[in-house]
Structure 1
Amino acid sequence: MKKFIFVILMACISFASFAQDKNQAVEVKSTIASGFDKCAMYPGGENGMNTFIHKNIDYPMAAIKSGKEGNVTVQFTVNTDGTVSNVKVVKGLEPNLDAEAIKVVSKMKGWTPAMKGGKAVPMDYQVNCHFAK
């Protein structure tokens, strides 16, 4: 009976490891500027942004194979119409990881713009993506 339970437990652990999304290796942290009445917000807040990035990012196979890990910090502007522009890497790691972070951030739509004095204003935002195996 102990062997049977052990085999079932190991099968579950193996399945859970196999079923893990490759994107779980990406951790997202954001930094926002101060001085606004209300900061720009992605639909669903930080959790919504994390979910979007995890679903849309592809950890490049070349980076996985080479063991490349670390942070890519991307800065962008949330415009008054809720779109994203001026996407650039502030702190890069390697070209294929930098490009992937830019690609995903550029796809984010539907932001609620920052407000200052009752008026929508552009706001710079940073997202720190940590790539790890």
Structure 2
Amino acid sequence: MTSIQKLAGHRFMQADYSIGRFAATVPAETTLEDVTHPEYFGNHLNSLRVGATISVLSDDHKLDCDLRVLSVTKTSAKVRVLRVFDEKAAPKVKDAEISAPVISHGGPVHKWRFIHNGEVIQHGFESKDAAERAAAKYIELLKGE
């Protein structure tokens, strides 16, 4: 029978406290090259530890990646890319059917408004046309257009 070397107890522990997990929301147009630069996280070096993971999401959602911290010095942090979301390789999901908003007059206080799924989304429009335009923009936002 072969002898199997077992993992030492001090190398197996709850990951939530031993490996830090961080989330970084970065400005739109930030690139993968930007966030992997050793000085990019320079303002947060006191928080980072070797082995930590950083989930990065840009404001425009074009950059979506996970990084592993490999080393931390007083002026920089070396990271490795664990995952990068690629729109072309992602599974295609059928576009959802969005229900149409309801445009109605809510009286002298609400004026013209639009309702979606039973919730008043926005009110106070002076005209029905203004409420319809706002509702169309809202539906475009839901569809991701």
Shared fold (TM-score, shorter chain, > 0.5): no
For CA contacts below 8 A with separation 6 or more, give which structure has more relative contact order. 1
| TM-score, normalization by structure 1 | 0.23
Larger Rg: 2
